Structures are given as C-alpha cells and as structure tokens.
C-alpha cells in the first residue's frame, strides 16, 4: 500500500496538491517497521485498559511493528504513568512511549488531580527526554463513556498507536 493511501481522506487530498509558498511538508506515513515502542499501562480500571493495550498492540502489528520491539509495563494507576514513562525513556531503547489508562470521574475532585498530573507529567517527560510520549489516557465522565472509548465506538489505544507511528515518521522527515 502506498503511503498516500494510508493517510486519512482529507490528508490524502492535500498530499496530492502543492502548497504555494511552502518548500517542504513533513506529514509522516503509517509504516511501523523497525520502530521500538514502549507501552506503559495503568492497572486501575484494568479490564478497560486491557482493551486499550490490545488495540494498541494490534494496530502496531498492522502497521508493521515487530512484536519483539513492543514492550509493555504495568503501573498501579494513571498517576504513576509519567514516572514509568520517564524511566522507560531513559533506557534509550524506545523510539516512542504510549501511555494508556482509564480514569472515570467520581464524586470528588480526585479525578481532576489525577488527570491533570498525568497529562502534565507525560508532556514534561516528552520535552525533557526529547522522546515522543503519546497520551492514550481515557478521561471519562462515566463508565459508559469509558467503555465507548475502549473498544465500543472507538479504541483510544488503537488511535494512540496509529498517531505514534505517524508522528515518528514525520519527525524523522524533519531531521
């Protein structure tokens, strides 16, 4: 399959056209051969997170990533994702890290603190370690929303894996 056919519809149309006044366009493609990926997943809401992990692993395989180049690390909860992502980044073994988890709003502000710190921490790891760290954390107001995003209507794990491969490719084009 050509790179152009792997792009979403709107991107495919733009890939065919030229942008007047622009010399280079770095778009990336969906070819995962040769990439090394770390998945870090939260055990809290584990049944849902397992669906995210399955979706990510399946998408990475579909895009050509070797299972031997995809590692999975489990942590207790979403709050621990940034620390684990940083530890994995510092090994130097990975091209990208996918952080996967599910946080469902409860009756207290705990949800807000966990989600905000996970997002902030993962972004900080990406910047500090100069490594793509993708945010595959489902933040849902209720269980129905979480189920819909973990394999019901969509799968955030699949989406995150696809984004990782495209992002890695685009960043390699920039070099």
| 128 — pLDDT class (breaks 50, 70, 90) | very high
- Whether the pLDDT of residue 4 is over 70: the answer is no
Phi/psi for 146 (5° steps) reads -65, -45
Alpha-helical (H) ranges within 17-155 are 46-62, 81-89, 110-129, 143-149
- Cα–Cα distance measured from residue 91 to residue 139, given in angstroms and rounded to the nearest whole number: 28
| 22 — pLDDT class (breaks 50, 70, 90) | confident
Per-residue confidence (pLDDT) for residue 141, from 0 to 100: 97
Q: Could you list the active site residues?
A: 110
Q: Where are the domains of the chain?
A: 33-174
- Cα–Cα distance measured from residue 71 to residue 36, given in angstroms and rounded to the nearest whole number: 8
pTM score of the predicted model:
0.88
- Whether the pLDDT of residue 27 is over 50: the answer is yes
For 97-123, what is the mean pLDDT?
Answer: 97
- CATH number 1.10.3720.10 given to 33-174: no
For 129-150, what is the mean pLDDT?
Answer: 97
């Amino acid at each position: 399959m050509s790179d152009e056919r792997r792009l979403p519809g709107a991107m495919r149309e733009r890939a065919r056209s030229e942008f007047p006044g622009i010399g280079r366009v770095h778009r990336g493609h969906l070819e995962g051969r040769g990439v090394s990926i770390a998945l870090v997943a939260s055990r809290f809401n584990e049944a849902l997170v397992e669906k995210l992990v399955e979706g990510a692993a399946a998408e990475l395989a579909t895009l050509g990533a070797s299972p031997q180049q995809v590692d999975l690390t489990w942590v207790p909860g979403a709050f621990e994702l940034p620390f684990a992502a940083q530890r994995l980044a510092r090994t130097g073994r990975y091209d990208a890290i996918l952080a996967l988890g599910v946080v469902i709003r409860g009756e207290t502000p705990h949800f807000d603190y966990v989600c905000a710190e996970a997002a902030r921490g993962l972004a900080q790891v990406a910047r500090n370690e100069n490594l793509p760290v993708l945010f595959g954390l489902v933040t849902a107001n209720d269980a129905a929303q979480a189920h819909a995003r973990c394999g019901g209507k969509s799968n955030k794990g699949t989406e995150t894996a696809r984004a990782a491969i495209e992002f890695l490719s685009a960043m390699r084009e920039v070099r």
